Homo-oligomer: A and B are copies of this chain.
Amino acid sequence: MYNQLRQEVLQANKALKKHELIIFSWGNVSGIDRENGVFAIKPSGVAYDELTADKIVIVDLDGNVVDGELKPSSDTATHLELYQHFENIGGICHTHSTYATMWAQAQKEIPCYGTTHADHYYGTIPVTNSMDEESIASDYEKNTGTYIINRFKNIEPLDMPAVLVANHGPFTWGESARAAVKNAVVLEEVAEMALGSKLINPNLKSIDRNLLDKHFLRKHGKNAYYGQD
């Protein structure tokens, strides 16, 4: 019944390994079927080489496993929180990819230093606040989602499909599980470029608003003209 969703989420998880964003069993990707009110997610602690479609876990929007033998990712409550509040996203990806994690650990937003960034993220990539003791002590994974949502109060999730969780690492999302992974790959590239640009020119500022608009809107929205569509 959930076969197609499982396949999509399996392929998206496998793509994390292909793009060298993860090692061992780190990271996780999910995809949602909003019509049926369920999402599919990687099982906890399973290595990517051993991942098969039947191991993907199906979870409903109350957080209950409705299909699958294994425990879902330990980050499932974060995914759930994001699906409930970001109503137009279709997939979520979490990694500890090297350069994005450097910025998350440093608790520094990634300024938009160039068009590679502007093509995909509509401005500065935000960092969440550091979590307080109480939020860590109980419902930690759910609260991780809450901190993300609070940071996005004035940001449209599909205009900024990435966040750096302070002291932790990136979450990305998109219209599908596959798009979420693509945004994770681009984020890693953008994070590496931003570190290098900062080392070359420590006083560097974000690009001008009109160049940001030009590039983001060249690829997104009703006036987009990139690609074959």
Contact = CB atoms under 8 A, between A and B. Distances in A.
A211 B104 contact: no
A107 interface: yes
A211 B105 CA distance: 13
Given A102-B196, A168-B114, A70 B108 contact: no
A66 interface: no
A197 to B, nearest CB: 4
Contacts of A96: 115-116, 189
Contacts of A204: 105-107
How many copies the complex holds: the figure is 4
Interface of A: 23-26, 43-46, 70-71, 74, 96, 98-99, 101-108, 113-116, 130-131, 133, 136-137, 140, 167-169, 182, 185-186, 189, 192-201, 204, 207-208, 210-211, 214, 218, 225-228
A182 B24 contact: yes
